[in-house]
Structure 1
C-alpha cells in the first residue's frame, strides 16, 4: 500500500464557485488539473446505498431500522451524501455546514430537484455546528458526526476531492467539541463515524460500536436515561 502523503497545497490556495450547466460547482483555481466539485445525489454509488435499505451499516448506526421516521442532525454535512441517503430512507434531516462554499453547493442541490421526496425531508443551516447544537437542546433523535480525520502525513494519498475539501475547510481540528454539544441535542443517540484504527472522538469511550470493513460507528447514548443498545 502506498504511504505517499497528500501533495503540499500552495499557500495561495484559491477557490471559486461557478455555474457548470445546471449546477453550481467549486473549482480549486490553484489546482488546475483537478476537476471541479459539485453535489451529485444521482450517482450510482448513492443509488446503491439507498437500495441497501435501512439495515445497511449507516442505517443501523442511526437506528433507522428500528425507528423509520427518525429525526437526524448531520453536524458535518459536507457534500450531503449520507444525509441524502438517510432522507431517501425516510428520515428527517437537518444539515449543518459551516464552510460557506460547501453550504452553497448544498443549497444549490436542494433547489435543483424540489420534487424529490427526499429533498422535502432535508433542511440546511449554514452555521457552526457547535453553536447550533447548543442552541437546540434535546431537539433531535440522533446527531451524526463524520469529521475529517486529522491528516498525519503518513496516510495513503487522499482522493482529490478530499484534498480540496480539507484545504478549503482547514480540516476539523476542533471536532472534539462537537461531542458534548451533540449529546446535549440528541435524545436517542450520537453517532460518530471514525476510521477503524482512529481513537474515539474526544477520547470518549462509546457505549457501543458498529464495525464495518473500512470504518466504524461509535455510538454514544445521552445521559437522560436512554436504554438503547
Structure 2
C-alpha cells in the first residue's frame, strides 16, 4: 500500500484479468508478439530485462515463449513472485506460468554473463514531462519505485551481445531512439512502438 497516496488501493498484480485475456486472445499477430518474432517461430527464449508489472512477459509466455523476468526493485520483484504463484495454481494458466522464471537482481550483470537468449525485451521507464495527463495510478507508483532507468542505454549495448535473434525496445510513440541508436525496423501502435534491433550474427537476418 502507498501510504503517501491515501486514495490509492493496495497494488496487486493480476495477469489473468479481462484486459490481459484479450491481449492473449489476440494471438501472435499482435504487435508485441510480432516484434519478438513469435509469428515466425512458435517457441522462443525471451529475457524481459525490465520486467516491471510482468504483463508483457506473461502475454509472451501464454503465447508459447519461455520467459525470464528480471526485476531489481525488491518490492516489484515480490509482487511478481506473488502474481506468478497465484497464476501457477490456476489450471487454465499454469502451463504459461511454468514457462516463466523470475530473477530478482541487476539485468546488466545477467546480460554481461555467459547466458544467451533468442530475444531480449527492454521496456525502460521513460521520463515523465510535466504534470498534465498523469499516467495511471499503478504507473505512477512504478515510476516512484524504479526512477527513470538511467542505465537503459547500457542495457541496450549489453542486450545486443546477449541475444541470438533480436532486441526489442518498447518506447512511447514520440520518444527518441534509445541511446540514439536507430533500429533495424519498427512496429508502431496507437500508443507505443517497438524498435527492433537485429545483431549481425542473428538467424533473423
**Superposition TM-score, scaled by structure 1 size:** 0.84
Question: How many angstroms does 1:168 deviate by?
Answer: 1.3
Question: How many angstroms does 1:113 deviate by?
Answer: 3.2
Paired residues of 2:183 and 2:197 also in contact (CA < 8 A) = yes
Matches of 2:27 and 2:157 in 1, distance apart?
A: 30
1:98 pairs with 2:72 = yes
**Superposition TM-score, scaled by structure 2 size:** 0.94
SS in 1 for 2:112: helix
Root mean square deviation, CA, Å? 1.3
Matches of 1:110 and 1:129 in 2, distance apart?
A: 19
Paired residues of 1:150 and 1:173 also in contact (CA < 8 A) = no
Q: Tell me the equivalent position of 1:182.
A: 159
Paired residues of 2:15 and 2:87 also in contact (CA < 8 A) = no
Residues 55-134 of structure 1: matches in 2 within 5 Å? Answer: 55-115=29-89, 116-134=94-112
Runs of 4+ in 1 over 6 A off after TM superposition: none
Matches of 2:171 and 2:131 in 1, distance apart?
A: 17
Matches of 2:204 and 2:190 in 1, distance apart?
A: 24
SS in 2 for 1:113: helix
Question: How many angstroms does 1:154 deviate by?
Answer: 5.8
Between structure 1 and structure 2, the one with the greater Rg is 1
SS in 2 for 1:102: helix
117-126 vs 173-182, greater mean Cα deviation: 173-182
Give 5+ residue unaligned stretches, structure 2. Answer: none
Give 5+ residue unaligned stretches, structure 1. Answer: 1-26
Larger proportion of helix: 2
